Structure 1
Amino acid sequence: MAGLLTLLVLAFALSLDSYGVGVTYGLRKVKIPFLSLMLIACCSGVSILVAMLVGKTIFTYLPVEWAEATGAFLLIFIGLFTLWQVYAPAKKTPKPVRKRKENQFNFQLRIFGFVIHVLREPLKADIDDSGSITGREAVLLGAALSLDAFGAGVGAALLGYAPWLLSVCVALMSGLFLMLGMKSGFRFSHIPWVNRLSFLPGVILIMLGIWRF
């Protein structure tokens, strides 16, 4: 029972970013259709599953004590990194001058950089400014929401959590929190505390990591 409870708390922490993103879209009246919502949730679940399978592979090569300590450390590290993302000042960088010829590697780097930028500024995912997140925009948003969760997923696997169960919980909670966040943004945009919950995922991950040391 205690193991299931901590798994649900971990899934809650890994999914709570979706609530903040949903609030941001709700405040700006940006809509996410149901199919896009499902796609984003699936991205989160698949990311956790892949991360945990990687963690399980690592687990086979490490002593149990080392694996658990490494998993706990990863949760603490991801929690600290999440807090840093919340409170670090956004840096404004000048747009680079594009060259006529760019290789595929540079193109991939720009895509990855854009995904990270979406994590900091969710509204950037609405590439065409249509007021709705669809298609590739949903994939980009799903990838952005999965970045932090990937490292935590590896740590969770090292701590012995069940990959399929956690990935399903994260997928369901991500979709639910994203939907609830949008509704909160639409209805409660005048309430200051709505935007002050972004520190919670980091704190919860740190507490879980310390508890499992």
Structure 2
Amino acid sequence: MHWISVIMFAVASNLDNLGIGLSFGMKRTRIPWLPNILIACITMIGTYFSMRMGEWLVQFISSDMANLSGALVIILIGIWTLWGSIRSSDSKEELEAPTLSEVLRNPIHADQDHNQVISWKESLALGLALTLNNIATGIGAGATGISALWTTVITGILSVLFIGVGSNVGRRMARTWFGRYSNVLAGILLCLIGLYEILI
């Protein structure tokens, strides 16, 4: 089993979570344990089923082609993530209560009632938004043969840790470069995972 790829994928999948935690922390918006765990559970479900879908798809092509295809998908998603972060660099924050579709496009708007606490209901939309960003990557990772079970477990653990740590650190920082560049780092890491899977 490719433990390096498992860990790198889990980290890449949760860089958005860390960035969200930092952003909420800087806004003094709390994410209690129950909502945090709910987000992790949704992330785990999305990761597991997307990777299983990737494993299912490889039944129709050779193992070498499956690994190459999965790696290329991960690289393309990494490039897309980088491009998306560049395009959204000039976006402005919404002041009014966001709709579900707006939360899915930008998870930082999950605090819909602006009470500076993410409720368990708001965490469902936040978890879904973060998970949707990782589905295509999960399919690509599954196609490369990375363990779906262990990737799911580690992704869930890191989700709780990254959001919790990010929130606590964010409350102590006026600004952070990581919150602004988490998408860039995630894109780079995904590209590295894809290259690693091609070269090994």
Tell me the TM-score normalised to structure 1 length. Answer: 0.83
* 1:29-54 Cα deviation digits (max 9, x unpaired): 00111000000011111100010111
Map residues 26-175 of structure 1 onto 2, 5 A cutoff.
26-89=25-88, 111=100, 113-119=101-107, 122=108, 124-175=109-160
Aligned counterparts of 1:33 and 1:117: Cα–Cα separation in 2 = 23
Q: Gapped runs of 5+ residues in structure 2?
A: 93-98
Q: What is residue 96 of structure 1 aligned with on the other side?
A: none
The 8 Å contact of residues 78 and 148 in structure 1, kept in 2 or not, is answered as: no
Q: What is residue 211 of structure 1 aligned with on the other side?
A: 196
Q: Gapped runs of 5+ residues in structure 1?
A: 93-109
Share of identical aligned residues, percent? Answer: 29
CA-CA distance at 1:181 after TM superposition: 0.6
CA-CA distance at 1:210 after TM superposition: 1.7
Q: What is residue 179 of structure 2 aligned with on the other side?
A: 195
CA-CA distance at 1:196 after TM superposition: 4.2
Tell me the TM-score normalised to structure 2 length. Answer: 0.88
Aligned counterparts of 2:180 and 2:110: Cα–Cα separation in 1 = 21
Letter in 2 for 1:202: G
* Count of residue pairs the alignment pairs up: 190
Aligned counterparts of 1:138 and 1:65: Cα–Cα separation in 2 = 39
Aligned counterparts of 1:65 and 1:24: Cα–Cα separation in 2 = 41
Q: What is residue 106 of structure 1 aligned with on the other side?
A: none
Map residues 171-186 of structure 1 onto 2, 5 A cutoff.
171-186=156-171
Q: What is residue 8 of structure 2 aligned with on the other side?
A: 9
* 1:109-154 Cα deviation digits (max 9, x unpaired): x74x3343333xx0x1111111111122101000111122111111
Letter in 2 for 1:163: A
Aligned counterparts of 1:132 and 1:16: Cα–Cα separation in 2 = 21
The 8 Å contact of residues 82 and 148 in structure 1, kept in 2 or not, is answered as: no
